[in-house]
Structure 1
Amino acid sequence: MALSDTKVRSAKSEDKAYKLTDGNGLFLLVHPNGSKYWRFRYRFGGKEKMLAFGVYPDISLANAREKRDEARKLVASGVDPSEKRKEVKEEQQKEFNTFEKVARDWHATNKARFFN
């Protein structure tokens, strides 16, 4: 049975972590401390894998479903969503840490110390 926003919002912590399933691999993991994490379980290359989408309420039920649908499309097209996420993250890191940017940041931070 699909989750509702009310059911997600009202999920209470218990002695052990438990799952509230939404369907098509999406579930909410509720920890004993009360934190709620969106997870997506899928199979790729004959292995079961899991992808984390974030924490509720930062990621809403609707947003988690959108992310699940995007991940399912990637799996259907033969792309592992977790590998795709790693590639995107590495690309963003490369763009962020160019030599010029690091050098300019260092210069801005240290110029008063060296050039007075």
Structure 2
Amino acid sequence: MSLSTHVLDAVHGRPAHGVPVRLEQRAAGGWTVLTERVTGVDGRIADLSPGLPAGSYRLVFDTESYLGPRAFYPEVVVTFRVEGAGQHYHVPLLLSPFAYSTYRGS
């Protein structure tokens, strides 16, 4: 299983460069941080983590770092389930100061 993400700035109509993103895995005692990356100039992180086993994960987007201290949603958490090996998971985030949306991309 491989994982990527893409953050798009819906207000300015461009990729969101410089958004810190944290990948976490659900464990018995809560959530464990697996990796932390920052979106590139194209708003993408192509290689969040290859080879994850089945289980529950979440991406934590530090949107306040991108939108500033008046961000209504200072962070966006997207929790998802990985069901099998050999698949690619792409989790895009469309972002604006007062709304966001996400979906399973390709």
Bucket of the pairwise TM-score, normalised by the shorter protein: 0.3 to 0.5
Bigger share in helix: 1
| CA radius of gyration, larger in | 1
Bigger share in strand: 2
